[in-house]
Amino acid sequence: MVYVISKDGHPLMPTMRYGKVRRMLKSGLAKVISRCPFTIQLLYETTDITQDISLGVDAGSKDIGLSATTNLKVLFEAKVILRNDIVELISTRREHRHARRNRKTRHRKPRFDNRTRHEGWLAPSVRQKAESHITMVQKAHKILPVSHIKVETASFDIQKIKNPNISGTNYQNGEQTDFWNVREYVLWRDGHVCQCCKGKSKDKILNVHHIESRKTGGDSPNNLITLCEYCHKQYHLGKIKLPKTIHRGMSFRDAAFMGITRWAIYEKLKELYSDVNLTYGYITKNTRIENSLPKDHHIDARCISSNPKAESDGTVYFYKKVRCHNRQIHKSTINKGGIRKRNQAPYEVHGFRLYDKVTVNSVEAFVFGRRLDGRFAIRMLDGTKINEQLSYKKIKLLEMRKNYICERRTPLLIGASPDVPVAI
Ligand SMILES: [Zn+2]
Ligand SMILES: [Zn+2]
């Protein structure tokens, strides 16, 4: 599928007449705007004849599915992997700052007056995910004349699982006393009974255990669990495992994300576009099963777009949101001899940037690592290693890095594994 943009920049219907596209490009009637997805801009006036295109968005906390369809055809399908490193990065930064304040070194003073949060404030990790949804919808609108959008943000009612009284008390914005408060709450919630042995160990001393480390999981009630001291010690010695139900704090996190963000995404989309509708997961699931389609994010998105019968040629665009910049100045561990190593690599190494799209033996891949001696790590978008030590002389630049790196995957050739993308 070749996506077409008119002379004045409006998206037109995509085409599959590759011969015509080639001739137009050759004769200068059109120019290439983007390689992936392949988009051309016409250089002469045309009349816009567009069909009704529905864009389905399967919102998620880890990935997004997108599908733009007409009644008969799938025009664009994409799967987006979102960033999942923000909590860790911010926690690390907080720890570093905290540690620097106790040393005789340059540091930023703690701020106590920046705690007011404007209405609609979202935690950085969540905000990033919400913004990625909007950006992807905008990307689809740039290449296709989308007439309406349908979003699936939740499959169930979050209020039923979320505790209404206490939500997300985090020790970062309060005093340590907040934690003791929450601790008492957790003990009360768990009925002052060890949730591991249910009191069988006869140990009367109770601890409150962080399911995820305090650093990443925080002090919110859904990350805390009551354990007796015996079980707690045994667990940290690695001698016993906690029952599987105790790990549900993890699923709370995902659910909580959709709870906060679903309205943020929906409201923002309504602001930007005129025809936006909400749908729910159980409807999508039903449509998918009725049409006996496999489970995948982009297929779900196709069902959400309300054209589950639309025919697809199997092409799916894989996107991955990557970090734009890294502002950490020095490596956290100091080298022998007290030499602080710079953390930031130069923007260009031997003319290549991180996440540049390159070809290696006619396979498209990305630069995932660069060494000054010229040996580069070349990988696929999903992290599949192609060559970890390839000379930069053997790779050819295709596209400069973007914040959303993109890979086209076509239906498999006979014998190829479904995970191996085929070069265009
Ligand atoms: Zn116990
Ligand atoms: Zn513990």
Span 319-356, pLDDT tens digits: 999 988 888 888 888 888 888 888 888 889 999 999 99
Convert the pLDDT of each residue in 357-407 to its tens digit. Answer: 999 988 899 999 999 999 999 999 888 899 999 999 999 999 999 999 999
Q: How many angstroms does the Cα of residue 195 sit away from the middle of ligand 1? A: 7
Distance of CA 197 to the CA centre of its chain: 37
Q: Which residues lie at CB < 5 A from ion ligand 2?
A: 209
**Beta-strand relationship, 357-360 and 363-370:** antiparallel
Q: Is 48 helix (H, G, I), strand (E, B) or coil?
A: coil
Contact 364, 423 (CB under 8 A): yes
Between 291 and 214, name the one with better pLDDT: 291
Q: How many angstroms does the Cα of residue 195 sit away from the middle of ligand 2? A: 13
Q: Give the ligand at the shortest distance from the Cα of 238.
A: 2
Q: Is the pLDDT of residue 185 over 80?
A: no
Q: How many angstroms does the Cα of residue 86 sit away from the middle of ligand 2? A: 24
Q: Is the pLDDT of residue 157 over 50?
A: no
Q: How many angstroms does the Cα of residue 239 sit away from the middle of ligand 1? A: 13
DSSP 300-318: HHHHHTT-TT-B--S-EEE
Residue with tokens 């192609």: 386
Q: How many CB atoms lie within 10 A of CB 200?
A: 11
Q: Give the ligand at the shortest distance from the Cα of 210.
A: 2
Contact 2, 38 (CB under 8 A): yes
Q: How many angstroms does the Cα of residue 234 sit away from the middle of ligand 2? A: 10
Q: Is the pLDDT of residue 16 over 60?
A: yes
pLDDT at 424: 41
Distance between CA 14 and CA 75 in Å, rounded? 7
Q: How many angstroms does the Cα of residue 205 sit away from the middle of ligand 1? A: 9
Q: How many angstroms does the Cα of residue 115 sit away from the middle of ligand 2? A: 30
Q: How many angstroms does the Cα of residue 213 sit away from the middle of ligand 2? A: 8
Q: Is the pLDDT of residue 250 over 80?
A: no
Q: Is the pLDDT of residue 270 over 80?
A: yes
- φ, ψ at 351 (rounded to 5°): 80, 5
Distance between CA 218 and CA 239 in Å, rounded? 25
Q: Where are the beta strands (DSSP E) in 39-169?
A: 39-42, 54-58, 63-69, 74-81, 148-154
pLDDT at 303: 93
Q: How many angstroms does the Cα of residue 236 sit away from the middle of ligand 2? A: 6
pLDDT at 417: 45
Contact 131, 139 (CB under 8 A): no
Q: How many angstroms does the Cα of residue 22 sit away from the middle of ligand 1? A: 71
Average of pLDDT values for 290-307? 91
pLDDT at 193: 86
Q: How many angstroms does the Cα of residue 92 sit away from the middle of ligand 1? A: 32
Q: Is the pLDDT of residue 412 over 70?
A: no
Q: How many angstroms does the Cα of residue 182 sit away from the middle of ligand 1? A: 20
Average of pLDDT values for 128-141? 94
Closest CA relative to residue 125, chosen from 301, 214, 278, 253: 253
Mean predicted lDDT score pLDDT of the chain = 83
% of the chain beyond a pLDDT of 70: 86
Q: How many angstroms does the Cα of residue 167 sit away from the middle of ligand 1? A: 26
Q: Give the ligand at the shortest distance from the Cα of 196.
A: 1
Confidence of residue 422 (pLDDT cuts 50, 70, 90): very low
| Cβ neighbourhood burial of 313 (10 Å; 0-12, 13-18, 19+) | exposed
Convert the pLDDT of each residue in 138-155 to its tens digit. Answer: 999 999 999 999 998 765
Q: Give the ligand at the shortest distance from the Cα of 202.
A: 1
Contact 11, 143 (CB under 8 A): yes
Average of pLDDT values for 286-296? 85
Distance between CA 56 and CA 96 in Å, rounded? 42
Contact 400, 356 (CB under 8 A): yes
Q: How many angstroms does the Cα of residue 370 sit away from the middle of ligand 2? A: 39
Q: How many angstroms does the Cα of residue 333 sit away from the middle of ligand 2? A: 27
Q: How many angstroms does the Cα of residue 260 sit away from the middle of ligand 2? A: 28
pLDDT at 153: 76
| Lowest mean pLDDT segment, chosen from 33-37, 120-124, 265-269 | 120-124
Q: Give the ligand at the shortest distance from the Cα of 209.
A: 2
Q: Give the ligand at the shortest distance from the Cα of 232.
A: 2
Q: How many angstroms does the Cα of residue 22 sit away from the middle of ligand 2? A: 63
Between 148 and 283, name the one with better pLDDT: 148
pLDDT at 156: 44
ipTM tops the 0.85 cut: no
Confidence of residue 253 (pLDDT cuts 50, 70, 90): very low
Distance between CA 269 and CA 274 in Å, rounded? 8
pLDDT at 29: 95
Q: How many angstroms does the Cα of residue 271 sit away from the middle of ligand 2? A: 45
Cβ within 8 Å of residue 263, ≥6 positions away: none
Q: How many angstroms does the Cα of residue 412 sit away from the middle of ligand 2? A: 47
Confidence of residue 106 (pLDDT cuts 50, 70, 90): confident
DSSP letter, residue 377:
E
Q: How many angstroms does the Cα of residue 229 sit away from the middle of ligand 1? A: 7
Convert the pLDDT of each residue in 219-233 to its tens digit. Answer: 777 888 889 999 999
Between 203 and 136, name the one with better pLDDT: 136
In total, the chain counts a number of residues equal to: 424
Distance between CA 286 and CA 386 in Å, rounded? 39
Closest CA relative to residue 70, chosen from 127, 144, 134: 144
340-358 in b/e form (b: 16+ CB < 10 A) is: eeeeeeeeebbebebbbbb
Q: Is the pLDDT of residue 186 over 80?
A: no
Distance between CA 398 and CA 424 in Å, rounded? 12
Q: Is the pLDDT of residue 121 over 50?
A: yes
pLDDT at 169: 37
pLDDT at 410: 85
Q: How many angstroms does the Cα of residue 247 sit away from the middle of ligand 2? A: 13
SS3 of the chain: helix, strand, coil, percent, to 5? 30, 25, 45
Q: Is the pLDDT of residue 255 over 60?
A: no
